[in-house]
Structure 1
Amino acid sequence: MDLSLSELATYLGAEIRGDGSARVDGVAPLSSAGSSDVTFIADPAYRKQLDSTAAAAVIVGTNLADDVASAALVVEDAYLAFAKTTQLFDRRPRQPEGVHPRAIVEDGVVLGAGVRIGPGAVIGRNTHIGDGTEVGAGCVIGSDCRIGRDCLLFANVTLYYRVSIGDRVRVQSGAVIGSDGFGFAPNKGKWERIAQLGNVRIGNNVEIGANTCIDRGALEDTVIEDDVILDNLIQIAHNVHVGQGAAMAGCVGIAGSTHIGKGCTLAGGVGIAGHLTLADGVHALGMTLITNSIDEPGVYASGTSHMPAKQWRRSAARFKQLDSIAKRLQKLEKSQEGNA
C-alpha cells in the first residue's frame, strides 16, 4: 500500500498540516520511523521523541498537535486513528480464491462468492460459508455450520458441528469452537457423561485468539454477542453468555452458565465461577477470582500483588489467623459494650 498524506487524512477524517502530496508506505514507531512511514503519538510521555522522529507525518490528537514540528494528521483520538491506519498496511498473505485441490468439501456445502479454502481444510456436509470468507490451511469445519461474510479462519482452526458464526469474525490458529462442555454426573465412583446438546452462536465483528476454547451448551447455546474480543488461551465453558463489546485478556477462565454483561473487561488470568452474573460495565483486574455475582458496574480486584517470599510467607501465616482475630475482636467489643 502506497498513498499520499491527503488520501490518508481523508480516510481518517483528519486535519492535515504539511505537504499533503507526500507519500507513505508503512507505519512505524516514533523512534524508528523513516521518511516514508507514518507514526503516531497518543501518550504525552513520548513527547520528547517528536523532535527526532524522521517520519513523513505524525498522527496526533488535538492535545499534542502544537508540539509536532513535522507534518501532522490531527485527529480526535490518535490511538484509534493509528489502529485504522495499520489496517491499510496489513501485508498478510491471502489464499487464492476458490477451493484448494487438497481441501475436502463434503456434500451439500454452500460457498459464497470469493470464498478462499486453503490446503488440507475439511468442510463438513451442509455447511454454509458466506461471501469473501477465508478458511486457512488445515481447518476442520463440522457439518451444518454457518459462517458469515468476510470472516477469516487462520490455519488449524476447528469448528465442531452446528456452530454459527456471524460476519467479519476473525479466529486465530488453534482455536476450538463447539467442543463438549465439561458435564459429568457422579455414579458410584465413576462419571457419567452428560451429552452436550446445545450449540455455539457467535455474533458479528468478533475476534477469537489462538488456542482459545469455546464449549457448546449443554441444553441451551453458548453465546458470544457482537463486537467481543477474546485473547489467546481463554476457556469459555458451556452455556456462558458474553455480552456485546466485552473484552478478555489471555488465560481468562469462565465456568459454565455464567452471564458476562455488555462492555465488561477481564484482564489476564481472571477466573469466574459458574452460574454467576456480571453486570454491564464490570472491569476485573488481572488474576481476580470472582465467586459471587456482581450487580454494579465498576472496577474489581482480588488477591495480593507480589512481594518478597519471606514477607509473603509471614502474610500467608497471618491470613490463617484472621478468623480467630476477628472472633476475639468481636468478643472484646461486646465486653466493652457491657461495661459502658
Structure 2
Amino acid sequence: MNNPSPQGLTLAELANRLGARLNGDGERIVTGLATLSEAGPDDITFLANKAYLKYLADTRAAAVLLHPDHVDDCPTSSLALANPYLGYAELSHLFDPLAARNVPGIHPSAVVSDQATVGEDVQIGPQVVIEDGVWLGAGVIVGPGSVVGANSEVGEASRLHANVTVCHGVIIGKRAILHSGCVIGGDGFGFAHDGQCWHKIAQLGGVIMGDDVEVGSCSSIDRGALGDTIIEDDVKIDSQVQIAHNVQIGEHSALAGCVGIAGSTKVGRHCMLGGGVGLSGHLTICDGVQVTGMSLVTNSIHEPGVYSSGTGAMDNAQWRKNAVRFKQLDEIAKRLVRLERASRRS
C-alpha cells in the first residue's frame, strides 16, 4: 500500500533532497511510495536488500531508489545512492500522511494551565491536559488525551501521540517521538519490607531524555528514586519496554520490544538489546554491546561484542532430555575434576 503525497514531487526534487544520482526524466512526478512488487506508475519504490532483486525487472514503478551497482538492471528511472535504505528512511517522511494533519492551535476541549509556557506553532489536541509550570517548545505536537505533568519540559519539534502520559518533573529533548500509551516518569518500583508487609518509598527523582529519542507504545520509563533516570540522545525504544528507576541508557542505543531493565543499571553507547532481553539491577554494560533476543544478563559486561544466553527452540523431546542434563552438569563437572586429578597422579 502506498502513502500518497497530494502535491506530488518530481524525480529531480527527490534526487536533490536525497543527494542521489538521477537516471531518467527529472520532470516525472510521483505521488506515492510503495514496495517493488506493489508500486504503480505514479509511485517511487526502493531496493535496499538483494533478496528483493528478483522483483526489480517487473516493477511498474515510475522510479526506483537503489545502489549504483543495480542501475543497469533497472527497467525504469532510478535514483542511485550508496545507502538506499537510509535514503528510503528519508524518503518515507516526504509521503507521511501525518505531516498534512499538523495544524498548530489548541483544541477547545484541552485544559492548558495559565502557568504553562507554550511555544510557537504548537498543536494541542482534544482532551489534553497541560499542568502548571510546563514548557512546550516550538512546533511541539501533543496528541488527543495526553497529559504533561507539572514542571515538565518538552523540546521543540517533539511529538506526543494520543494518550501519552508525561509525569511531573520530566525533561524531554528536541524531536522526541512518544507513541500512544507510553508513560514517562511514573514511580519506580521502590518498597521497603518490615517482615510482614511493604512500605512505599517516595520516588523523588525525575527523567531526563535527550534529543531524537523515540519511545514505543505502552513502554514505561520510571522516574529516579533520588537522582534521575537518564535516556541520552538518539536512543530508540520499542513497544512494551520497561526501564526502571535510575537506569541510564547511552546515546545511539536501541532496545527492541519487551526488554526489561532493572533499577540503577547503566547501558553504554551504541548498544543493541534484542526482543525480550532482561538486565538485572545495578549492572554496567559497556559501549558497543549487542545482546541477542530473550537473553538474561545477570553480570556486568565490560568488553564490547555479541552476548547470548538460554537455548534455542528445538524438538520438545530433545529439549526434555537436555533439561535433565542441565541438572546433572554440576555433578558431571565434579566427576571430571576427580578424573583429572586421578589421571595426573597416575
TM-score by length of 2: 0.96
Q: Does 299-308 or 207-216 show the bigger shift?
A: 299-308
Q: Choose from 121, 125, 128 the match for 1:118.
A: 125
Question: Does structure 1 residue 5 correspond to structure 2 residue 15?
Answer: no
Do 1:95 and 1:118's aligned partners in 2 also have CA atoms closer than 8 Å?
A: no
Matches within 5 A, 1:17-96: 17-92=23-98, 94=101, 96=103
| Deviation sequence 1:267-325 (CA, Å, 0-9, x none) | 10000000001111101111011111111111111111101111111111110001100
Tell me how far apart the structure 1 counterparts of residues 77 and 337 of structure 2 sit (CA, whole Å): 68
Tell me how far apart the structure 2 counterparts of residues 260 and 166 of structure 1 sit (CA, whole Å): 19
| Deviation sequence 1:194-243 (CA, Å, 0-9, x none) | 11111000010111100000000011100000001100000000000000
Deviation at 1:191, TM superposition (A): 1.0
Tell me how far apart the structure 2 counterparts of residues 29 and 90 of structure 1 sit (CA, whole Å): 15
Equivalent residue of 1:19, what SS?
coil
Q: Which residue type is aligned with residue 224 of structure 1?
A: I
Counterpart in the other structure of 2:278: 271
Do 1:250 and 1:267's aligned partners in 2 also have CA atoms closer than 8 Å?
A: yes
Deviation at 1:10, TM superposition (A): 0.2
Do 1:264 and 1:281's aligned partners in 2 also have CA atoms closer than 8 Å?
A: yes
Tell me how far apart the structure 1 counterparts of residues 254 and 310 of structure 2 sit (CA, whole Å): 21
Q: Which residue type is aligned with residue 63 of structure 1?
A: D
Count of equivalent residues: 339
Equivalent residue of 2:86, what SS?
helix
CA RMSD of aligned residues (A): 0.9
Counterpart in the other structure of 1:283: 290
Tell me how far apart the structure 2 counterparts of residues 63 and 290 of structure 1 sit (CA, whole Å): 42
Tell me how far apart the structure 1 counterparts of residues 74 and 103 of structure 2 sit (CA, whole Å): 43
Do 1:24 and 1:37's aligned partners in 2 also have CA atoms closer than 8 Å?
A: yes
Question: Does structure 1 residue 190 correspond to structure 2 residue 197?
Answer: yes
Tell me how far apart the structure 2 counterparts of residues 96 and 15 of structure 1 sit (CA, whole Å): 34
Deviation at 1:65, TM superposition (A): 2.6
| Deviation sequence 1:139-190 (CA, Å, 0-9, x none) | 0111000111011000000011010001100000000000010111111211
Equivalent residue of 1:31, what SS?
coil
Deviation at 1:20, TM superposition (A): 1.1
Tell me how far apart the structure 2 counterparts of residues 67 and 293 of structure 1 sit (CA, whole Å): 49
Counterpart in the other structure of 2:187: 180
Do 1:95 and 1:136's aligned partners in 2 also have CA atoms closer than 8 Å?
A: no
Tell me how far apart the structure 2 counterparts of residues 265 and 214 of structure 1 sit (CA, whole Å): 17
Tell me how far apart the structure 2 counterparts of residues 144 and 91 of structure 1 sit (CA, whole Å): 32
Tell me how far apart the structure 2 counterparts of residues 95 and 9 of structure 1 sit (CA, whole Å): 26
Equivalent residue of 2:69, what SS?
coil
Tell me how far apart the structure 2 counterparts of residues 96 and 37 of structure 1 sit (CA, whole Å): 27
Question: Does structure 1 residue 334 correspond to structure 2 residue 341?
Answer: yes
Tell me how far apart the structure 2 counterparts of residues 161 and 327 of structure 1 sit (CA, whole Å): 56
Q: Does 168-177 or 105-114 show the bigger shift?
A: 105-114
Equivalent residue of 1:63, what SS?
helix
| Deviation sequence 1:78-120 (CA, Å, 0-9, x none) | 1000110000000016353221110111231000001111110
Q: Which runs of 4+ in 1 moved over 3 A?
A: none
Do 1:95 and 1:117's aligned partners in 2 also have CA atoms closer than 8 Å?
A: no
Tell me how far apart the structure 1 counterparts of residues 309 and 71 of structure 2 sit (CA, whole Å): 40
Unaligned runs of 5+ in 2: none
Q: Which residue type is aligned with residue 269 of structure 1?
A: G
Q: Does 296-305 or 207-216 show the bigger shift?
A: 296-305
Equivalent residue of 1:164, what SS?
strand
Counterpart in the other structure of 1:229: 236
Counterpart in the other structure of 2:144: 137
Deviation at 1:54, TM superposition (A): 0.3
Q: Choose from 104, 109, 115 the match for 1:102.
A: 109
Unaligned runs of 5+ in 1: none
Q: Which residue type is aligned with residue 87 of structure 2?
A: A
| Deviation sequence 1:31-77 (CA, Å, 0-9, x none) | 01000111111111211111100001110012323322321100010
Deviation at 1:259, TM superposition (A): 0.5
Do 1:44 and 1:64's aligned partners in 2 also have CA atoms closer than 8 Å?
A: no
